[in-house]
Amino acid sequence: MSSDSKFQLPPGDYAIVNRVNASDGKRLALTFNGDGKNVTVTPFDSSSWTIENYKYDEVRATSLQHVKPKSNTKLEASLGPAVNVRPVGNYVFGITQDGSGWSIKDGDKKTSWSIHVAASGSEVVPLSESTGEKQRWVIVKAGTSLG
């Protein structure tokens, strides 16, 4: 297998937006709320995240990657009852193109990043073996308009 899969996300700076819009039609993007705080979704603005490769996973045919707030790359996303941000500690995720968007899953491919409700302030949470639209993300280069 090649480490240049068209289904994996190249390293870089991105906005990460849920596939499901809020009831008012606004796009909901991952939002960094500070060290030790849970990640939420809020109306899409200029929030961006840095994606860095960790290592290539032959079984998944994709790279495991770090997800870091661009405003503080000494921190990175990790999993608990919700997706939260902690000091760098080799928390890695598989980010792969999946049907109508991108899925972000833990290193074991057992849980996906999701939201329970498409509303501003909703926490991003891990869900086991889920495949709905709330578990899909639109990922665009930082500074790019969603149109």
* pLDDT (tens digit per residue) in 81-91: 999 999 999 89
- Half-sphere exposure of residue 87: CA atoms within 13 angstroms, side-chain side: 0
What domains can be seen in the chain, in order of their start residue? 12-109+118-141 (2.80.10.50)
What pLDDT digit, counting tens, does each position of 62-83 carry?
Answer: 789 999 999 999 999 999 999 9
Amino acid present at 12: G
What pLDDT digit, counting tens, does each position of 3-35 carry?
Answer: 455 678 899 999 999 999 999 999 999 999 999
pLDDT at 113 over 90: yes
134 φ, ψ (degrees, to nearest 5): -70, -10
Q: Of the candidates 11, 67, 73, 10, which has an alpha carbon nearest to the alpha carbon of residue 39?
A: 67
Average pLDDT over residues 127-146: 86
Burial class (CB in 10 A: 0-12, 13-18, 19+), 65: buried
Task: For residues 19 and 17, give the distance between their C-alpha atoms in angstroms, rounded to a whole number.
Answer: 7
Q: Using the Cα atoms of residue 63, residue 69, residue 75 and residue 76 in order, give the sign of their dihedral.
A: negative
Largest CA distance in the chain: 43
Amino acid present at 39: V
